[in-house]
């Protein structure tokens, strides 16, 4: 649908003004970087509300090392920010080089990307980094990114305003892998993991994966298999064996093939994280 359907364009300078406009009905759509709307603007959308002047374009690093990203921060901003590049194993940059093209990363905002909630290489990495989101629905609220999707908060009427990544510990190692038919194609499956090795045993383990179209999900059963383990070959195999994969079939690949890819990617991610942490056997 061409953007000639748009009848009004607003650019409020405070979040309450955005919220007031958003409540006017399904014909109103928030606009961050605009990359998604330029490709597919739903036919019912008649009003665009630009978030450019609401002050959501900053990256702030707290004294404890936590990093807060305003919703209008671009994917390129994330890729180039020194504190984000320094997160465990450089996993943010490792992932970002696979997200679309440089031109897309220059335009796409992190808030719009997360609110969309599908076809994402960003979501699995932020899940294993234990990110949380701030949202406004008449008042400010916070939720873990995991709960934001798991409890369907992302489907409700709200404005996603910020994302916070907690500080990393020295023993953490992370990895991200994806599989696609070409460099800029959507991933058929992707996976991310983070482990915290304490005296050669896993103190913390996080795994997130997606079998394609849907947003990545955490894997608590697999994570539990790894806690207190030595991250051995047997431990990794046990974690992979209890993955819960919500894959789908389409013209690109069958659900069975996507599920196979997801299991393979998780296993490789865990091996890579173990190597980066200097542990396991």
Burial of 259 (0-12, 13-18, 19+ CB in 10 A): buried
Q: Is 95 helix (H, G, I), strand (E, B) or coil?
A: helix
Q: What is the average per-residue pLDDT within 73-83?
A: 95
39 and 86 both lie in a single domain: no
161 and 176 both lie in a single domain: no
Q: Is 130 helix (H, G, I), strand (E, B) or coil?
A: coil
The CATH number for 81's domain is 3.30.465.10
Q: Out of 165, 184, 203, pick the residue that ends a domain.
A: 165
202 and 267 both lie in a single domain: yes
pLDDT band for position 279 (50/70/90)?
low
15 and 81 both lie in a single domain: no
**Residue 58 confidence (pLDDT) above 90:** yes
First to last CA, the chain: 55
What is the predicted pLDDT for the residue at 269?
97
Q: What is the average per-residue pLDDT within 242-248?
A: 91
What is the predicted pLDDT for the residue at 166?
97
Span 185-204, pLDDT tens digits = 888 999 999 999 888 899 99
The CATH number for 36's domain is 3.30.43
187 and 129 both lie in a single domain: no
The CATH number for 252's domain is 3.30.390.50
**Residue 280 confidence (pLDDT) above 60:** no
Q: Out of 107, 130, 165, pick the residue that ends a domain.
A: 165
Q: What is the average per-residue pLDDT within 66-87?
A: 96
What is the predicted pLDDT for the residue at 6?
87
Q: Is 154 helix (H, G, I), strand (E, B) or coil?
A: helix
Q: What's the domain count of the chain? A: 3
d(CA 202, CA 193): 12
**Residue 19 confidence (pLDDT) above 60:** yes
What is the predicted pLDDT for the residue at 1?
46
Residues 6+ apart with CB under 8 A from 139: none
44 and 91 both lie in a single domain: no
What is the model's pTM? 0.94
179 and 242 both lie in a single domain: yes
Mean of the per-residue pLDDT values of the chain: 92
157 and 183 both lie in a single domain: no
Span 92-133, pLDDT tens digits = 999 998 887 888 899 899 999 999 888 899 999 999 999 999
Q: Out of 165, 182, 211, pick the residue that ends a domain.
A: 165
DSSP 180-223: -SSTTSPPSEEEEEEEEEETTEEEEEEEEEE-SSBPPEE-HHHH
Helices (H), 59-188: 75-80, 82-85, 91-96, 102-107, 110-116, 122-128, 145-150
157 and 196 both lie in a single domain: no
**Residue 4 confidence (pLDDT) above 80:** no
Percentage of the chain surpassing pLDDT 90? Answer: 73
**Residue 281 confidence (pLDDT) above 60:** no
8 and 96 both lie in a single domain: no
191 and 206 both lie in a single domain: yes
199 and 234 both lie in a single domain: yes
Q: Show the domain range for 28.
A: 3-50
């Amino acid at each position: 649908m061409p953007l000639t359907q748009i009848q009004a364009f607003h650019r409020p300078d405070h979040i309450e003004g955005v919220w007031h406009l958003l409540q006017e009905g399904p014909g109103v759509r928030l606009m961050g970087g605009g990359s998604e709307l330029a490709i597919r603007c739903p036919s019912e959308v008649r009003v665009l509300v630009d978030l450019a002047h609401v002050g959501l374009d900053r990256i702030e690093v707290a004294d404890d090392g936590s990093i807060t990203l305003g919703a209008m921060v671009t994917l390129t901003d994330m890729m180039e920010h020194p504190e984000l590049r320094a997160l465990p194993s450089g996993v943010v940059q490792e992932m970002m080089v696979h997200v679309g093209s440089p031109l897309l990363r220059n335009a796409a905002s992190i808030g719009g990307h997360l609110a969309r909630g599908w076809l994402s290489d960003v979501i699995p990495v932020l899940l294993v980094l234990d990110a949380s989101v701030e949202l406004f629905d008449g008042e400010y609220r916070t939720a873990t990114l995991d709960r934001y999707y798991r409890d369907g908060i992302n489907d409700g009427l709200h404005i996603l305003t910020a994302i916070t990544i907690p500080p990393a510990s020295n023993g953490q190692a992370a990895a991200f892998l994806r599989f696609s038919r070409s460099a800029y194609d959507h991933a058929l499956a992707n996976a991310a993991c983070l482990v915290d090795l304490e005296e050669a045993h896993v103190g913390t383990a996080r795994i997130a994966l997606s079998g394609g179209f849907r947003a990545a999900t955490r894997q608590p059963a697999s994570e539990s298999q790894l806690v207190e383990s030595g991250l051995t070959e047997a431990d990794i195999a046990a974690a992979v064996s209890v993955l819960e994969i919500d894959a789908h079939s389409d013209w690109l690949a069958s659900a069975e093939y996507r599920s196979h890819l997801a299991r393979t990617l998780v296993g490789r991610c865990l091996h890579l994280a173990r190597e980066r942490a200097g542990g396991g056997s």
